[in-house]
Chain A
Amino acid sequence: MLDKQTVFGVVVGLVVLALGLFSSMQGFDGAGLMLVSFMILLATMMTWRFGQAETLMVPIRISEQSSRQSTR
């Protein structure tokens, strides 16, 4: 499930990308906008993935602790 911040990042990234593409089609330099959009999308995706990984880490940590306790 995507949270609000991820949705916001994706929407902003796509809008900036569209603006960059539109600028290029109009004959202006849209490369900077496209680069910025890729940076936003990449940062948003990485934050989202790390956030998911963190939530998955919690039960692993608990299970590690419980296994250590059981071996004692």
Chain B
Amino acid sequence: MLFDVSIAFFLLGVIARFLRADIQFPASLYQSLTLFLMIAIGLKGGVALAEHASLSLILQSAAVIAFGFILPLLAFPILKSIGKLGRIDSAAIAAHYGSVSVGTYAVAVGILETQNIPYEAYIPLFVVLLEMPAIAMGIALAQQGNSTVDKRKLTHEIFCNQGVVVMVGGLIIGYLAADNLSTIKPLFFDLFHGVLALFLLEMGMVAASRFDDIKRSGSFMLAFGVAMPLVGGFLGCLLGVSMGLSVGGAGLLAVLGGSASYIAVPAAMRVALPNANHSLSISASLGITFPFNVLVGIPTYFLFAQWLST
């Protein structure tokens, strides 16, 4: 059974919230855990890049970027025509679902490592690449050429948000110092699973705190918050298999396709689309899609990968 011990901590967080247990993480600790996971993922990816850098990786990266542009285009018409949401809200939510969740990716990596399932370790490069196209596409869908956004500020948010800077930095450091990381390995590599458990405990409480918002947003957002990850996950898996990735690698690309951002995109959308209903986007992403992916989605994506690979 694909059940990781860190997921038990996520459930503990959910239960603690419903029991109204007074567990309080300092806000700075949550931020630190997120940064730790991003650096650790970036470093691991950098080490793998140093070993596997090739021309085919550039072609794979181009395909992944194209995938990042396609996902919001799939989500937008569903939100606008079926969900009857406004253009700006539809575009903002589509951007969230086109981008990726580093937390979900970290859980999937944790599961693979616990189960000893091999995967292409350079996938963190794809995590970074998938952060950006969805934001650009979301803005394009919302504005349709009538842009009144502060482009300088927005470009800064897209390319210099904390996720991109920390992960790209980790990738470069890992790439350049691949043979010389033994001094920081005990912190960033050996403690990865323990930190992930703490992160998921906090995320469980955060997700459960969104429960009332989800009830208010209605059944459509619940159905969308489950359907879109499954569609994105299936397409990501299909792309991974067609790129010749292993079952673990295709499963991870499916996780990236099926996850929704709750760190980088909300910050960018607040700058680009200040009139959008940001609470709706973050509730769907954190309250529906993140728990769905952690508890049900990730094993399903690896199932897709096994079906499509055979």
A interface residues with partner B (beta carbon < 8 Å): 4-5, 8-9, 12-13, 15-16, 19, 23, 26, 28-29, 32-33, 35-36, 39-40, 43-44, 46-47
Contact = CB atoms under 8 A, between A and B. Distances in A.
Interface stretch (B43-51, B81-89, B172-180, B269-277): B81-89
Contacts of A36: 226, 292, 296
A5 B84 contact: yes
B296 A32 contact: yes
Nearest to B291: A36
B299 interface: yes
Contacts of B218: 5, 43, 47
Contacts of B84: 4-5
A26 B218 CA distance: 33
Contacts of B78: 8
A19 B230 contact: yes
Contacts of A16: 226-227, 230
B223 A40 contact: yes
Contacts of A9: 219-220, 222-223
Contact of B1 (A5, A26, A29, A39): A29
Interface string B201-236: 000000000000000001110111011001000000
A8 B223 CA distance: 8
23 contacts: A4-B84, A5-B83, A5-B84, A5-B219, A5-B223, A8-B224, A8-B227, A9-B219, A9-B220, A12-B223, A12-B224, A12-B227, A19-B230, A19-B300, A23-B303, A26-B303, A29-B1, A32-B295, A33-B296, A43-B219, A43-B223, A47-B218, A47-B220
Contacts of A35: 296
Interface residues of B, number: 22
A40 B222 contact: yes
A36 to B, nearest CB: 6
A48 B84 CA distance: 15
B226 A40 contact: yes
Interface in B68-123: 78, 81-84
What are the nearest 4 A-B pairs in CB distance?
Answer: A32-B296, A43-B219, A47-B219, A12-B223
A29 to B, nearest CB: 6
B119 to A, nearest CB: 19
Q: Is chain A's interface secondary structure helix, strand, loop, or mixed overall?
A: helix
A35 B78 CA distance: 24
Contacts of B299: 28-29, 32
Interface string B267-310: 00000000000000000000000001001100110010000000
- Name which of B2, B295, B303 has the most chain A CB atoms within 10 A of its CB: B303
B31 to A, nearest CB: 30
A15 B220 CA distance: 15
- Name which of B1, B292, B300 has the most chain A CB atoms within 10 A of its CB: B300
B115 to A, nearest CB: 14
B226 A12 contact: yes
Contacts of A4: 81-82, 84
Contacts of A43: 218-219, 222-223
B220 A5 contact: yes
Nearest to A9: B223
Given A28-B299, A29-B299, 16 more contacts: A8-B220, A8-B224, A8-B227, A9-B219, A12-B226, A15-B230, A16-B227, A16-B230, A29-B1, A32-B296, A36-B292, A40-B219, A40-B222, A43-B219, A43-B222, A47-B220
